[in-house]
A and B are shown apart, each in its own frame.
Chain A
Amino acid sequence: MTVGATAALLIAAFLAAGLGSALGMAGGIFLVPLLTTVAHLSFGAAVAISLVSVVACSCASSPTLLIKRLTNIRLAIVLEIAASLGALVGLLAVGAISERILYGLFAAVLVVSAGQMLQTRRPRSAPTNVAPTSWATQLRLRSSLPGPQRVETPYIVHGPGAGLAAMFGAGMLATLLGIGSGVLKIPAMDMALRLPLKVSSATANLMIGITAAGAAAAVVIRGDLDLGFAAPVVVGSVLGSVLGSKVLVCANPAHLRIVFFAVLVLLAVPMTLTATGITNVGA
């Protein structure tokens, strides 16, 4: 691979992870379409690279969120049981699913993500008198996050059962499509568990790395990872997730969402065309 191609991959991964981290995603949702449509890698090769990149992004961006006390570690461990189980089912199923169906599934995820970009989320209000389920109470999932002027904002966790079901699906998608599944995890925590958005994003961020870790270690050990592509993509993703989000904080969120919507829809087109057999973007 030429130096120019490596630099192009590095920059593309930097932008994908930087843009993704601005909205709480790991960037895998951009990487797989880019690697298949632009670099013409096979879907499996792109997924393998993206899995390692997703873990790296999670490791790079989690420390800041942990120190800010936005991550609910106990909730992450509880939900990770379902997500890791889903990832395992995804790995077992991936061989039985045709590549065209996977392209179609990816296109659907892109369209759902694009739809989410147009939705505005209202900040979660303080805990109401609604009693948390006994599960959430016994597992001591309630916590608080630091608010303005050092005032703690307490929150409770609702409906962990619905959250577990969503995490199972998110875990499956993670290993089938090589994405962090933040697109499923964050709304599930927001709607089913009724968590504050910052807690949802931070907790999902930590979980994304754990969900993909086993599969990522396997693709590295197995030796069929294209290192020429993987190294610049992973290094670019890490730099993007750390630095890109800080740069993008200055940007107008409404404008960002419009740009994201356009990019996601644009990426969904070749994935849909491949799924329907009209074109073939991968190797």
Chain B
Amino acid sequence: MMHSEAADRGLASRLARLLRFGTTIAVTVTSIGMLAAHTSFTGAATVAVVSGLLMFALLPIAGLLAAVQHYVRRLDWTYVALAVGVLVLVGANFLVGSAS
């Protein structure tokens, strides 16, 4: 098995690409919504801002899913369990936050 540190470099590159791409899209969508809201405040502007902000909130979750996939491929079940555990806790945070 490849050394954990060397194998994680692939995951780091993948996470970096995912976060950079996602951030670019999310900030663009949010900015478009923000600018549109000042020319003519319509439902479309609100949808754009909410979508952009939601994209930001979902990016770390997408990163966790990428980590789970990486560790499943490497048959590293300890880190599969830990990453899934974090996902479950983030999901619980969402549920409790939504209910409050």
Listed in ascending order, the chain A residues whose CB lies under 8 Å from chain B are 3, 6, 52, 55-56, 58-60, 62-64, 66-67, 69, 71, 73-74, 77-78, 80-81, 84-85, 87-88, 91-92, 94-95, 139-140, 142-144, 175, 206, 209-210, 213-222, 225, 227-228, 230-232, 234-235, 238-239
Nearest residue (CB) in B for A241 is: B23
Q: Given the complex, which residues of B lie within 8 Å of A63, measured CB to CB?
A: 15-17, 19-20, 23
Number of A-B pairs whose CB atoms are under 8 Å?
174
* CB contact between A81 and one of B19, B34, B85, B92 (< 8 Å): that residue: B85
A6–B31 alpha-carbon span in the complex (Å) = 12
- What is the interface of chain B mostly: helix, strand, loop, or mixed? helix
Question: Is the CB–CB distance between B57 and A55 below 8 Å?
Answer: yes
Question: Is the CB–CB distance between A214 and B92 below 8 Å?
Answer: yes
Question: Is the CB–CB distance between A56 and B60 below 8 Å?
Answer: no
Question: Would you mind naming 21 contact pairs between A and B with Cβ atoms under 8 Å apart?
Answer: A55-B59, A59-B23, A60-B19, A60-B23, A66-B16, A66-B19, A69-B9, A77-B86, A88-B93, A91-B96, A210-B60, A210-B86, A213-B57, A214-B91, A214-B93, A214-B97, A216-B56, A217-B94, A219-B97, A220-B54, A230-B49
A60–B13 alpha-carbon span in the complex (Å) = 15
The 9 closest A-B pairs by CB, nearest first: A214-B93, A218-B97, A84-B89, A217-B57, A231-B34, A63-B16, A66-B16, A216-B57, A213-B60
Separation in Å of the A143 CB from the closest CB of chain B?
Answer: 5
A49–B54 alpha-carbon span in the complex (Å) = 12
Question: Is the CB–CB distance between B60 and A215 below 8 Å?
Answer: no
Question: Is the CB–CB distance between A238 and B15 below 8 Å?
Answer: no
Q: Given the complex, which residues of B lie within 8 Å of A231, measured CB to CB?
A: 30-31, 33-34, 37, 49, 52-53
Residue among B4, B13, B90, B91 with max Cβ neighbours from chain A (10 Å): B90
* CB contact between B89 and one of A6, A81, A143 (< 8 Å): that residue: A81
A6–B41 alpha-carbon span in the complex (Å) = 14
Residue interface mask B54-98, A partner, CB < 8 A = 1: 101111110110010000000000110011011001111111111
Listed in ascending order, the chain B residues whose CB lies under 8 Å from chain A are 4-5, 8-9, 11-13, 15-17, 19-20, 22-23, 26-27, 30-31, 33-34, 37-38, 46, 49-50, 52-54, 56-61, 63-64, 67, 78-79, 82-83, 85-86, 89-98, 100
Question: Is the CB–CB distance between A81 and B5 below 8 Å?
Answer: no
A84–B84 alpha-carbon span in the complex (Å) = 12
Question: Is the CB–CB distance between A220 and B53 below 8 Å?
Answer: yes
Question: Is the CB–CB distance between A227 and B46 below 8 Å?
Answer: yes
Separation in Å of the A191 CB from the closest CB of chain B?
Answer: 23
Separation in Å of the B51 CB from the closest CB of chain A?
Answer: 9
Nearest residue (CB) in A for B38 is: A3
Question: Is the CB–CB distance between A67 and B13 below 8 Å?
Answer: yes
